[in-house]
Amino acid sequence: MQPRDLSDHVAYEAGRGIEEVARELDRDPSEFVKLASNENPHGPSPAAAVAIRETASSVSSYPKAAHADLTSAVADRWNVADEQVWLANGGDGAIDYLHRAVLEPGDSILVPAPGFAYYGMSSRYHHGDVREYDLSKADDFTQDAETVLEHYDGDRAIFLTSPHNPTGSTIPLEEVAKLADATDDETLVVVDEAYGEFADRDSAVALLEGRDGFEARDDVAVLRTFSKAYGLAGVRLGYAVVPGEWADAYARVNTPFAASELACRAGIAAVDDDEHVERTVETARDSRAYMREHIDAHVWESEGNFALVDVGDASAVAEEMQQRGVIVRDCSSFGLPGCIRITCGTEDETERAVETVNDVLAALDLETGPSDEADDPDAEVVDS
C-alpha cells in the first residue's frame, strides 16, 4: 500500500527558528534574533493572551459558540454578513476551503512567481493544476492587471498577493477590478491580504460590497489572517471574506469546527485590540524606512512587515548573518537567489540586522544591486 502519486507536490518549508539554529550551532538561543518568518516583534495581542489563559479550562468543549461569536465580530469589522466570513485554521486553511468550493479535477489556478507556495500546494491536493504569472525584478515586482492577463487562460482562480510576499508590492483596487472584468464569469479572483494591515491601501472587500465607487462583485474573495498584525501565528487563525451569493457553500466545504476554541477566543479579543495593531504597524513602517535608508544595498519599497534586499548572494549572506546571530530569509527558494528578506523587528532588532548585513556585505565584498540577474523560474517557493 502506497499513497497516491505525490511527485508533483512540494513540501512546505518554514523559516528556521531560534532553537533549531542554536542547537545546530551549539550556541545559546539568547544570542540570536529571528527576522525570517514575518512574525510580530511585539508578540501576541495582550487581549488575546488574556483570553487564551482564561479559555484554557474550557477546551474540553467544541467551539460552536466561540466560532459563531468570532464570525460575527469579523463580519462587523468589515460590515459584511456573517455568512460571508469563512473562518479557517490559518490563511492556508481558507485557501483550502476556496479550492474545495471552486475546483473540479483538472481545473487550473494562476499564481504569482515568486509567491506563496501553498496556493499551488492546495490546488494539487484538490487535483487541480497550477500555472504561474511572473512578477519581474526588472519592473520592481509591479503588480497590475495586464501582467496577470498576459498569462491568463481561463483559469478557475487567480491569486493576487497584496502586499506581496516576499517583495512588499501591492496592487491597486482599480487593477483588481479591471482583472475581474477581463476574466471569465467562472474565474474567481482571490486577493490575499495577509499583510493588509501594514499597507496604506483599502481592502479588496470594497469590491465585494460595491463600495468606494466600485460595482459589487460575485467573483472576488479576500483572504485575511490573525498571524501577522495581531501576533497570533501560533494559534493558526485566518478567514476568507466571500461574495454574499456563497452563503450556503461554507457548511459544505469546511471541516467540523474550523478553528479551535482557543483560536476563536483569542480572535474575538484581538479583533478589537486596535492599540496593539497600531503599535505593530508603526513599528513596521519605522523599520522599513530605517532599512531602506541604512542598508548598503538595494532595498525595495515594501508595504508589508518585511523588506526585500538585493545582496548578490543570498545563501552566503544569510548563512554569515546567522553565524553572527541574525536569522533572515534566504529567498533562493522564491527564485530570487540574490535576495534576502528581513522581517521588520523592534528598533533594536532592526538596527542590529542593518549593522550585521552591512558588515557581512563588506566582509564578503559582494556586488549588490539592484542586479540584472534573472530570476530562477524553476525554483520552488516554500515560505510564508
Percent of the chain with pLDDT over 90: 82
Total residue count of the chain as it appears in this document: 384
Which CATH number does 46-270 carry? 3.40.640.10
Closest among 342, 348, 267, 273 to 305, alpha carbons compared? 342
**Residue range 175-227, pLDDT digits in tens:** 999 999 999 999 999 999 999 999 999 999 999 998 888 989 999 999 999 99
376: pLDDT strictly greater than 70: no
**Residue range 243-280, pLDDT digits in tens:** 999 888 998 999 888 899 999 999 999 999 999 999 99
In the CATH hierarchy, which fold is given to the domain comprising 18-44+275-364? Aspartate Aminotransferase, domain 1 (3.90.1150)
Task: Give the separation between CA 13 and CA 225, rounded to whole angstroms.
Answer: 19
- Burial label for 102, CB within 10 Å (0-12, 13-18, 19+), is buried
Q: Would you state the pLDDT for residue 373?
A: 47
Task: Give the separation between CA 299 and CA 307, rounded to whole angstroms.
Answer: 7
Q: Which three cell numbers stand for residue 383?
A: 515560505
Q: How many CA atoms lie within 13 A of 189 on its CB side?
A: 27
Q: Would you state the pLDDT for residue 374?
A: 44
- pTM for the full predicted model: 0.93
Question: Which one-letter DSSP state was computed for residue 373?
Answer: P
Which string of b and e fits 23-49 if b means at least 16 CB within 10 Å? eeeeeeeeebbbbbbbbbbbebbebbb
Give the containing element (helix H, strand E) for 117: helix 117-125
Vertex 337 angle, CA 335 and 340, to 5°? 105
Question: Is the preceding omega at residue 243 within 30 degrees of 0, hence cis?
Answer: no
Task: Give the separation between CA 123 and CA 129, rounded to whole angstroms.
Answer: 6
Give domain limits for the chain: 18-44+275-364, 46-270
